[in-house]
Structures are given as C-alpha cells and as structure tokens.
Amino acid sequence: MAYFLVIARDGNDADAPARRKTTRTAHLEGIRPMVEKGELLNGGGILNGAGDMVGSAVFVEYPSRKELDDWLKREPYVVNGVWKDIKIIPIRMTVQNGQIRP
C-alpha cells in the first residue's frame, strides 16, 4: 500500500467560495465510502486568515498512484472546478491512529 498527501487549493476567483459551498454535500457523500474502506485516513479544509476554506489537505492510502488518480477523476471538487491546484506528495506514514509506526 502507498500513502499520499493531497494538497488541493481552490480557485481564487470571485465564484470560488460559491462553487465550494454548492459542491460540498456531493464531496462529503463521495468520500464516505473512502472513509469506510480505510482509504481516506484524515482530511480537512485549508483555512485562510479569515477562517474561510480555501482548499483541502487529505491523507489517503491506496495500493498505488493509479487508484488515487481514479478517485480524483470522479471527485466532485475536481469535476466541478473547486480544486484548481492539486499537489500529490507520496509519504511514509510514521504516526497513524495515535501509534508510531516503524
């Protein structure tokens, strides 16, 4: 299995907050099965100085990068243009579920 950190920044145009708001329910419904299968380990919104969500940071576990790319192709935040700048960083998970992994 492979671990990845996904850092996805929203667009910075005037309509970006509205796109996030209208897509959020579909996004949450879409990640529910990932959470249940243990693919999505942790995640949340990136906040700006005013406390508004302007992106997302997600830790995922997949057999390979291919499965991660397959998820992103159907992720509502990608499909609906919320996430505009996506960085994918392979990582070694050292702490998980409150446990240190060798």
Q: Report if residue 84 sits inside a domain.
A: yes
Which CATH number fits the domain that encloses residue 62?
A: 3.30.70.1060
50, pLDDT greater than 90: yes
Q: Report if residue 14 sits inside a domain.
A: yes
Tell me the mean pLDDT in the region 36-61: 97
| Confidence band, pLDDT 50/70/90 cuts, at residue 97 | confident
Nearest Cα neighbor of 15 from 80, 101, 78, 61 is 80
For the entire predicted model, the pTM comes to 0.93
Model confidence pLDDT, tens digit, residues 11-40: 999 999 999 999 999 999 999 999 999 999
Model confidence pLDDT, tens digit, residues 56-86: 999 999 999 999 999 999 999 999 999 999 9
Provide the number of structural domains found in the chain: 1
- Domain holding 67, by residue range, is 2-92
What is the residue-wise DSSP string for 39-87? -EEEEEEEE-TTS-EEEEEEEEEESSHHHHHHHHHH-HHHHTT-EEEEE
